[in-house]
Amino acid sequence: MTEIDYGADVALTAPTEERLARVVELARHQQVLERELKELEAAFEAKKKELEVVAKKELVVAMTEAGLLEYALLDGSRVAVKTQRYGAINEANRPTAHAWLVENGHEALIKHVIAASFGRGEDELARRVLAAVRELAPQVPVTDQERVHPQTLNAFVREMAERDVVLPPEINVMIETEAVITPPKKARSRSRDAL
């Protein structure tokens, strides 16, 4: 691809019909590509939704009705119903949920997230020790929030479920059941060999 220096003085000449035709051709091609990309993105999103319906509803229901948790297909792949637990703490429940975590010995899950916004030309200030930000630049907005990382919370929720620990209502627990298909062992070993 040819890089053009748009800042350089360019001698303007009247465009030829050939050059104008090329501009029109490329502009139309770009329009077609943009339209095709939008269509592909829409089709991709539709397929994701269709997969979610099959994996999280239809196949789970079919296996449940058949009394199966796992089933081997003729090609050697296996389909299994898996249940996952996820947790969430919303803003309104954060103080109570965090208090429960601390009272029950899980304070290590809570992390402080400190953020500061620096403007253009304040690179040196941004490199200084975070603890000194408020003293050095009171004009810089700084926030200090306690948060539990979503992945950490999900792992914690699963661990507490395994121990039959009841979590407080401030920690929202979502249970999601999904059919998971594992490819046949031969296909898995071939794909590893290809790496």
Which of 152-174 are b and which e, b meaning 16 or more Cβ less than 10 Å from the residue's Cβ?
ebbebbbebbeeeeebeebbebe
Element (DSSP H or E) covering residue 65 = helix 59-65
Q: Is the pTM of this model over 0.75?
A: no
Residues 22-76 pLDDT 10s: 999 999 999 999 999 999 999 999 999 999 999 999 999 999 999 999 999 999 9
Residues 103-145 pLDDT 10s: 999 999 998 877 767 777 878 777 765 657 677 777 777 776 7
